[in-house]
Amino acid sequence: MKLTTIRTSGGTRAARTEGDGTLVELPYPDVGALLLDPQWPLATGRQTHEAMFCDRAPLLAHPGKVVRVDLDRRSFHVTRPQSLAGPRDAIVLPQGSVAVRWKVEPAAVIGRRGTIAGFSILNEVTVPWLALGPALVTPDELPGGLRPRLALHSFVDGRPVQKTDTGDLDFAALVHRVSQRVRLEPGDVVAAGHEEVPLWLCEGSVLETEIDEIGFHENVLQRAT
């Protein structure tokens, strides 16, 4: 199952991608609200949208916690996002800032009782902004399941800056380890990656990220007005 959050004339709505690529609108304001329903995999809807014409909102309107796991230091830290962006939204630099750091990681989104509902892309810009989306893809749809083997590519202003894959990430083990220290709730996010040289970005930078089977981000950094 592939889930997303779209913007409609009536506000944001969770939606499910059908086999022909159309989106079926679900009766929840976002994917986070959907995951709070114990029967979320059975959710149905009637209204459909052409995916190519839909404006994607942040996947989760109000993620509770974002847990970032540093695989090199075998440590993690917990943050609560202040500003969220959709996969094609602008990211606004605060007044007075010259440059900000950027990092992108695959992320597991938590469902009921600390289980992994699915996987998405987390773009973290230390403003702090988070861009999460464009979709949540359930493990049964991905090669490797809870240990998905997916290629990841990132670009800044068209220049490749990251090319890797997620094959070394055992998310089931990571989520279990985190849950021993932190209570995980539906809509929480666990992201993981290796420590890398940070990328410093400024106004006008164009950030592009793609993870196979999940989707694509394109975010532009803009100055606050």
Q: What is the pLDDT of residue 172?
A: 93
Q: What is the pLDDT of residue 218?
A: 95
Q: What is the pLDDT of residue 197?
A: 61
Q: What's this model's pTM, rounded to 2 decimal places?
A: 0.92
Q: What is the pLDDT of residue 35?
A: 95
Q: What is the pLDDT of residue 98?
A: 67
Residue 16: both structure tokens together: 């499910």
DSSP state of 50: -
Architecture of domain 66-223: Alpha-Beta Complex (3.90)
pLDDT digits (tens, 9 = 90+) for 199-224: 778 889 999 999 999 999 999 998 87
Q: What is the pLDDT of residue 179?
A: 93
DSSP state of 14: E
How many residues in the chain?
225
Distance from C-alpha of 107 to C-alpha of 188, rounded to nearest angstrom: 10
Q: Which segments of the chain have a pLDDT < 50?
A: none
Distance from C-alpha of 129 to C-alpha of 139, rounded to nearest angstrom: 26
* Residue found by looking up tokens 């969220």 in the block: 84
199 Cβ neighbours under 8 A, 6+ residues apart = 101, 102, 103, 156, 161
Residue 140: both structure tokens together: 């049964």
Average pLDDT, the chain: 89
Domain spans of the chain? 2-56, 66-223
CB atoms under 10 Å from CB of 88, counted, come to 15
Residue 51, phi then psi, degrees to nearest 5 = -55, -40
Distance from C-alpha of 66 to C-alpha of 108, rounded to nearest angstrom: 10
189: nearest Cα among 5, 35, 63, 24 = 63
164: nearest Cα among 178, 148, 140 = 148
